[in-house]
Structure 1
Amino acid sequence: MSEGNVTFVKEFFIVGFPGLHVNYYGLVSAVMFFVYMCTLLGNVIFVILFVKEKTLHKPMYYIFVNLVISDVLFSTTTLPKIIVRYWFQAGTISFVSCFIQMYFVHYFSTVDSYILALMAIDRFVAVCCPLRYHSIMTNRNVLILSLVAWILAHTIVLMMAIRAFPLPYCGPNTILHCYCDHISLTRLACTDRTPYSIPAFVSAMVILLGSLSIILFSYGCITVAVLRISSTQGRLKTLSTCSSQLIIISLFFIPRCFNYLSNNIGISFNADLQIAIVMLYSLLPPMFNPLIYSLRTAEVQKILISHFRKTHVHTNI
């Protein structure tokens, strides 16, 4: 069949977990709704604190604000539709809406990977070059680098969407996923997807491995610097902060790399397990990031305690 802009598919149906029994639809939607609410609550609390407290207007927190915005937008792009699918059994999504969702799914994921790399660079400069930190990681420089991350992510992902949109979709319209993504969509095209999947795969791996390389290099240098600290307490404190961040980073990057590799080199396993892995690395980091990157820091904890005490005093009065 010749390729073109004409498509026989007018809408898609998001299946979610293909092996999930209908009796568990309510439970799954409730869990996802809980995750979404926790994600919104944790991230919105930090944004409110950041806006109100000028003491948080520092490079590290400016970087985290970008991560917060990306995480909230990613969760809002993906979760409401799959919650509605299981809660009200309304999984239909229009052709154009599916591609818009696909674009934003990959866009915000790309922004996340760049921002995580920028956070690792910030920590590298803070630990390894502490005397030059305030001259290198200024608020202005951080905002410029963050803007570059958002713009660069747009150009790469837009290319993927533009190449996938005009493919002939004339067969099945069921998406075996919890949201529209490039792999799930292009699999439904009535044509050889190799010319489209290989460039997308290369782009994804360049983004993921490029960001991961920066992160590993930064934390490798941080580890070496920490081991040189004579104070055991200072060493443990720094390692504790880095270890929690590395857990989230590992959860973000490793399953993504495995998912892209398995789909492009022919490794197949249970569809429900694969989707569960994707949802795990898609939904948990946005929910836990506020706790790991901000609410655990002594500065933010002091502000929260101060606000809590003021609220408690006003309530008693």
Structure 2
Amino acid sequence: MSDSNSTDFINPSTFILLGIPGLEAAHVWISIPFCTMYAIALLGNFTILFIVKTEPSLHVPMYYFLCMLAITDLVLSTSILPKMLSIFWFYSREINFTACLTQMYFILSFSAMQSGILVAMAFDRYVAICDPLRHSTILTNPMVANIGLAVVLRGIILVLPYPFLARRLPYCRTNIIPHTYCEHIAVVKLACADIRISSYYSLSMAFLFIGMDVSFIAVSYTQILRAIFRLPTKDARLKTFGTCGSHLCVILAFYIPHLFSALAQRFGHNVALHFHVLMANMYLLVPPMLNPIMYGVRTQQIRVRLLQPFTHQRT
């Protein structure tokens, strides 16, 4: 492999992932909470998928979208955790150039899909509360399948330029990435050429995915809140709002860390590098861990189905 200070390679055969710069001595200890979060994410999301599959009463749009969310959570966390643990535990820091771009694509693509699924779930709640009599005729199974397909295609197609633009750049400065995974900005910053096209495309996609999706969710919930406040009794308002509680928690768990990490990456120049890297990992690991917990705790149908074996044993 070429020395990191040489200029005789255009595209290196491998990159070197440093892990969390400045905290190398604590890598093993840091791996414990990360590994725990991943284990909870795997158990929780597979449990959600199993419960929805085996319980016919949950074969409705809300839970179909929840299954899509669980799948994206599993892919996102699995995209980064195994390689991160190999860095922390076995000092296996090398990653093939193509594998690095593939990892980048999966992370960006499934993050975009996850955002789209949250929009679809907001639309489902909007129809269920604002136009309940037409919910079953609007959100039919074919419509849910079409929405899911649109979300997947949007994530696949709009994220494709990221790895292609990154592949075209010449990397002649260094092949060392100060990160635990191939984060887009961390990779393109290594190029010894103008990266404005990649940077502008990344920024425009961030505004498209986050800005447009958050705007749609905000409009949906504005209409939902107006419908809730028109209900005649306090109990009816609380019960109706309770059906949205899990979804609102999931939205906050996804967008707040994501937005904070993106802003810190671009504008937090005085923030320590290890803090950037930790935040970039947290927004990919925390939502997959929290989503099944929030839906399991707050959704009665899932909670009842989950506790059913234990209640049967008592009787």
Q: TM-score, normalised by structure 2?
A: 0.91
State the superposition RMSD in angstroms: 2.0
Q: 1:46 to 1:255 in 2, by over 3 A?
A: closer
1:293 to partner: Cα distance: 2.9
Partner of 1:53: 55
Q: 1:305 to 1:264 in 2, by over 3 A?
A: closer
| Superposition map of 1:182-201 within 5 A | 182-201=184-203
1:242 to partner: Cα distance: 3.3
Partner of 1:254: 256
Residues 16, 178 of structure 1: 8 Å contact kept = yes
- Counterparts of 2:52 and 2:253, CA distance in 1: 26
Residue 17 of structure 1: which of 17, 20, 35 is its match? 20
Residues 108, 159 of structure 2: 8 Å contact kept = yes
C-alpha offsets along residues 4-60 of structure 1, whole Å, 9 cap, x if unaligned? xx73422112122212141x2221112111111100000011111122111111111
Residue 227 of structure 1: which of 208, 226, 229 is its match? 229
SS in 2 for 1:165: helix
Residue 75 of structure 1: which of 65, 77, 92 is its match? 77
Q: Which residue type is aligned with residue 90 of structure 1? A: S
Question: Where does structure 1 lack aligned partners over 5 or more consecutive residues?
Answer: 1-5
Q: TM-score, normalised by structure 1?
A: 0.90
User: Percent of counterpart pairs with the same letter?
Assistant: 36
| Superposition map of 1:235-246 within 5 A | 235-246=237-248
Q: Where do 4+ consecutive residues of structure 1 move more than 6 Å?
A: none
1:264 to partner: Cα distance: 4.3
1:260 to partner: Cα distance: 3.3
| Superposition map of 1:49-198 within 5 A | 49-198=51-200
Question: Where does structure 2 lack aligned partners over 5 or more consecutive residues?
Answer: 1-8
Q: Which residue type is aligned with residue 19 of structure 2? A: G
C-alpha offsets along residues 254-312 of structure 1, whole Å, 9 cap, x if unaligned? 343344345445754221222222222221111111122345211112222223334x3
Partner of 1:39: 41
Residues 201, 264 of structure 1: 8 Å contact kept = no
Residues 176, 184 of structure 1: 8 Å contact kept = yes
- Counterparts of 1:78 and 1:187, CA distance in 2: 20
Partner of 1:302: 304
Q: What is the aligned residue count? A: 307
Residues 84, 91 of structure 1: 8 Å contact kept = yes
- Counterparts of 1:219 and 1:257, CA distance in 2: 20
1:204 to partner: Cα distance: 2.0
Q: Which residue type is aligned with residue 147 of structure 1? A: L
- Counterparts of 1:294 and 1:138, CA distance in 2: 25
SS in 2 for 1:7: coil
